[in-house]
Amino acid sequence: MKSHAQKPIETESEILPFTPRNWLSSIREIFGDSYIIKLFHIEIRTFQRWTAKRPYVSEESIRENYIEKHDHILQRLMSEGYTDIARAIVAHHAEITGCTIIPISEVSPDKTNLHEEMLDDYPAVTKLHAAILNSSPIDEVRHLSQMAKQELDETVALYRAKQ
């Protein structure tokens, strides 16, 4: 595979909003049609439809592409209360790019008493430390680290609310 120089992004509007069509079009530009066709086992016409630009095709007509399906899975996990699984999937993708995820919603303590909230921190930190001492896979350690940070953030949020 040949190396591609990273294209500088001139403005934020070039990347936002990043629709499934934008995603697939970028991949098409970088790797060419044959890469996606082989990877997803699709016909060239299907890939052309997924990446076609307006006015030739609407966003609705490309709903069957793999990126849209991935989005629907995440949305359903979130709507059915499986936030931890949805975030683990996104965290996996973020890790590939050297990033982490941070929930955009405010931290909401699950205890009303500061002492109880502080005690709630220990199990999460203990699990993290045990995973490290047991040489657990890095993905597991990162997940446990995020869980411990969440517990600590809840404690700080409750402390701040009591001030």
Q: What is the pLDDT of residue 106?
A: 74
Least confidently predicted of 7-21, 41-55, 103-117, 120-134 = 7-21
72 & 133 share domain: no
Residues 6+ apart with CB under 8 A from 18: none
Domain containing residue 127: 114-162
Residue 105 within a domain? no
89 & 132 share domain: no
Of 83, 86, 71, 55, the residue nearest 23 (C-alpha) = 71
Residue 128, phi then psi, degrees to nearest 5: -60, -50
Hunting for tokens 């040489």 — which residue is that?
135
Q: What is the pLDDT of residue 86?
A: 93
Number of domains in the chain: 2
73 & 142 share domain: no
Query: Do residues 122 and 131 touch, judged by C-beta distance below 8 A?
Result: no
Residue 32 within a domain? yes
Q: What is the pLDDT of residue 9?
A: 42
Radius of gyration of the chain (CA): 21
Q: Inform me whether the pLDDT recorded for 158 exceeds 50.
A: yes
18 & 55 share domain: yes
